[in-house]
Amino acid sequence: MDPAEAVLQEKALKFMPDPWCHTQMPRGLKGRESKCSMPRSLWLGCSSLADSMPSLRCLYNPGTGALTAFQNSSEREDCNNGEPPRKIIPEKNSLRQTYNSCARLCINQETVCLASTAMKTENCVAKSKPQSQQRDHKVHSWWKSYTCVEKELELFGDTSKSYLPLLIDLDNTTRIMSCSLNSSHTRTSAVKIPLTASPLKARGLDHIAENILSYLDAKSLCAAELVCKEWYRVTSDGMLWKKLIERMVRTDSLWKGLAERRGWGQYLFKNKPPDGNAPPNSFYRALYPKIIQDIETIESNWRCGRHSLQRIHCRSETSKGVYCLQYDDQKIVSGLRDNTIKIWDKSTLECKRILTGHTGSVLCLQYDERVIITGSSDSTVRVWDVNTGEMLNTLIHHCEAVLHLRFNNGMMVTCSKDRSIAVWDMASPTDITLRRVLVGHRAAVNVVDFDDKYIVSASGDRTIKVWNTSTCEFVRTLNGHKRGIACLQYRDRLVVSGSSDNTIRLWDIECGACLRVLEGHEELVRCIRFDNKRIVSGAYDGKIKVWDLMAALDPRAPAGTLCLRTLVEHSGRVFRLQFDEFQIVSSSHDDTILIWDFLNDPATQAEPPRSPSRTYTYISR
């Protein structure tokens, strides 16, 4: 052995993890550890010990790894002096402490080492029947432990930093097995495994390693690729960058929308074709930072108000104004003051169909994949076929204008200027029956929303009332607005309302507390929507405001930092808006529909590409 290699090997022995301490070696290997001809570097899959040093520093360093190896020069110069390797003490919040605290993920080192001894001799002639049975039991226990890994990983969610130590144990254990099988001290008829071969692959453990690494985020996956060639091979062969992107698309609507809009979604969720003409792992590895760049651009555009604008002129023949709308990727459905429902092509912005039948202004609407349901100032609710435009049903119950409606899962709730709320059962588009009428408001009920737990209504009487969805019984009243409430959205525990007192209020529906008051609009707040990141409101002052939802829910955030941007393009009152991660679609008294696109801003696309500001490491190989 090269003298320099021997010196490095002797120093590295001090920093090896617990499984290789003499006190933890199985009987078959105890006392022979220093005699093993396998270089210690092969425990991490490197070609030489010198090559493994950077990998150890990368993997085990303060704040990111389990070991405190190579921290300072005094420790590096300290030799064993004939003593057994010192036990490594993990940092207080280290990776290995997180790993050891997860009892279900921990692999008993003694069992692993005993299993390696048992596997070493499984092809030999058994010395005695009880010993053979005992070895079989140990092997079965070891494999049972690793078989449970896949189920345990699903239970722990995205705590990816707990998985790397498990993979290290798996990697190192397979290498001890290879060393044991090839040792000159072993009398066995088994076929020897070359030390240069892939230990994980030779033992059929690739799928376990892939499952462990597939739970890592991008930063951790980059770091894992740099550990050694073996881990890089597992990452590449397992298409782990593709799996990471697919996981993000499944769980994040922003990623899903980008996949559809940018076209790279066509490469996801497909098995490898027989001809092998599928993008390699390097394609997805290069795609990931481009996706991050798009996400950074979108967030920046929202905050800075950069957007492209498309305008639809509705050209109403009589009275002008677009009172309500809803959109998807193919179409925009709008209800107009001239008593019609117009359906627009989202791509060409041309009117595809006009539905007529109401004798008053169309004040509210909602559609799904089967029907469009509209409410009008003519006091009726009408049901239309979304594909043909045929009128399927007319519901006559309210005695004044139907101001708002919502439907979902076979249930519909309507509210009216007559101060009542009607709850309907929807068996089919033609079979809709009245279940219950809720009475309690002292003025027109302007808006309703509901889920499986609560029905929430807001009225001109300045109150928000909460009702039980299943029993339709009254629960509580939310008081705080100084004037009538014009709009509202409810989701989970959060209710956001807009009022003619020019303010927006955030409420906790369970306790009825007002969490925050947003001020900024100069006139009545007519429409409001929110998602996980932001609130978007439109008012009679013709302005659309974008608010930071997370900051609004933080009582320490200054009031002046809550409004991110004010958008001014409408020349009349803003009646209705809807938005997603990429765009806002709004309608106004000025008889127009505006599409505010924050993804395809021409000014942003003209700028030279810049590196993402997210704090993850990406290294091309």
**Shortest CA distance to 467 belongs to which of 506, 420, 499?**
420
* DSSP line for 377-433: TTSEEEEEETTT--EEEEEE--SS-EEEEEEETTEEEEEETTSEEEEEEEEETTEEE
pLDDT the model gives residue 155: 42
Q: Is residue 34 part of a domain?
A: no
pLDDT the model gives residue 127: 42
Which residue has better confidence, 167 or 147?
167
Average pLDDT over residues 474-486: 97
pLDDT range class, residue 72, cuts 50, 70, 90: very low
Residues of the chain with pLDDT > 90, as a percent, come to 54
Work out the angle between the directed axes of helices 129-147 and 149-156 (0-180°, nearest 10). 30
The CATH number covering residue 532 comes to 2.130.10.10
Q: Are residues 385 and 292 in the same domain?
A: no
**Shortest CA distance to 60 belongs to which of 39, 88, 87?**
88
Contacts of 501-509 with CB under 8 Å at 24 or more apart are 502/539, 504/528, 504/535, 504/537, 504/547, 505/480, 505/481, 506/552, 506/553, 507/464, 507/478, 507/480, 509/454, 509/456, 509/466, 509/478
Rounded Cα gap, residues 410 and 177, in angstroms: 60
Q: Is residue 337 part of a domain?
A: yes
Pick from 278, 304, 330: which residue ends a domain? 304
pLDDT range class, residue 53, cuts 50, 70, 90: very low
Q: Are residues 202 and 284 in the same domain?
A: yes
Q: Is residue 41 part of a domain?
A: no
Which residue has better confidence, 44 or 582?
582
Q: Is residue 411 part of a domain?
A: yes
Q: Are residues 397 and 492 in the same domain?
A: yes
Q: Is residue 126 part of a domain?
A: no
**By the 8 A CB rule, do 371 and 392 touch?**
yes
Q: Are residues 468 and 566 in the same domain?
A: yes
Q: Above 50 in pLDDT, residue 51? A: no
What single DSSP character describes residue 160?
Answer: G
Q: Is residue 225 part of a domain?
A: yes
Q: Which H or E run includes 130?
A: helix 129-147
The CATH number covering residue 281 comes to 1.20.1280.50
Nearest-5° angle of CA 22, CA 23, CA 26?
A: 80
Rounded Cα gap, residues 256 and 500, in angstroms: 37
Lowest mean pLDDT among 216-220, 305-309, 482-486: 216-220
pLDDT range class, residue 92, cuts 50, 70, 90: very low
Average pLDDT over the chain, rounded to an integer: 76
Q: Are residues 286 and 322 in the same domain?
A: no
Q: Are residues 530 and 473 in the same domain?
A: yes
Residues of the chain with pLDDT > 70, as a percent, come to 63
Please list the residues that pair with 505 across neighbouring strands. Answer: 497, 517
Q: Above 80 in pLDDT, residue 383? A: yes
Domain of residue 277 covers: 198-304
**By the 8 A CB rule, do 394 and 402 touch?**
no
pLDDT range class, residue 229, cuts 50, 70, 90: confident
**By the 8 A CB rule, do 378 and 362 touch?**
no
* DSSP line for 47-99: SSHHHHHHHHHHHS-TTTSS--TT-SHHHHH---TTPPPPPPPPPTT-HHHHH
Structure tokens at 502: 């020019």
H helices of 252-280, where?
253-262
Q: Is residue 9 part of a domain?
A: no
What pLDDT digit, counting tens, does each position of 356-379 carry?
Answer: 999 999 999 999 999 999 999 999
Q: Above 90 in pLDDT, residue 391? A: yes
pLDDT range class, residue 167, cuts 50, 70, 90: low
Rounded Cα gap, residues 599 and 583, in angstroms: 8
Q: Are residues 258 and 380 in the same domain?
A: no
Q: How many domains does the chain have?
A: 2
What pLDDT digit, counting tens, does each position of 484-521 carry?
Answer: 999 999 999 999 999 999 999 999 999 999 999 999 99
Average pLDDT over residues 12-27: 42
Pick from 253, 283, 304: which residue ends a domain? 304
Average pLDDT over residues 579-590: 96
Q: Is residue 96 part of a domain?
A: no
Which residue has better confidence, 184 or 167?
167
